[in-house]
Amino acid sequence: MTISFSSSDASVDSVGAGNPATMPAGAGWQNTNPHNLPAATVIGSGGTTNLYLGGKVLPTIDQTAGAYTGDIILTVAYTGN
């Protein structure tokens, strides 16, 4: 099953606010493109960064009903800064 992401299907909360709608200004990125997330972000003082990802699944007309699972791969690298 295909998953489609729009240009506003991701939010990055770099302060661990727990809700992208209540993040303070400068605490991350709201409603951004998941295919073009920022190359770098600073992890919040609590040591937490939350990534919220939305999207739309596109089942075929003859898709069997049921629960589906799949992997979404996020690459994270510590740069030492």
CB atoms within 10 A of CB 13: 24
Distance CA 30, CA 20 (A): 7
Asked if the structure places residue 50 within a domain, the reply is yes
Pick the closest to residue 37 from 21, 53, 48, 26 (CA basis).
53
Asked if the structure places residue 68 within a domain, the reply is no
Asked if the structure places residue 75 within a domain, the reply is no
Contact (Cβ atoms closer than 8 angstroms) between residue 80 and residue 35: no
The domain tally of the chain equals 1
Asked if the structure places residue 66 within a domain, the reply is no
Asked if the structure places residue 15 within a domain, the reply is yes
Q: pTM, whole model, 2 decimals?
A: 0.68
At residue 75 the predicted structure's pLDDT band, cuts being 50, 70 and 90, is confident
Per the structure, the complete domain to which residue 41 belongs is given by 2-58
Contact (Cβ atoms closer than 8 angstroms) between residue 57 and residue 5: no
Asked if the structure places residue 77 within a domain, the reply is no
Asked if the structure places residue 44 within a domain, the reply is yes
User: To the nearest whole number, what is the mean pLDDT of the chain?
Assistant: 80
pLDDT > 90? residue 62: yes
3-state secondary structure of 35: helix
Asked if the structure places residue 65 within a domain, the reply is no
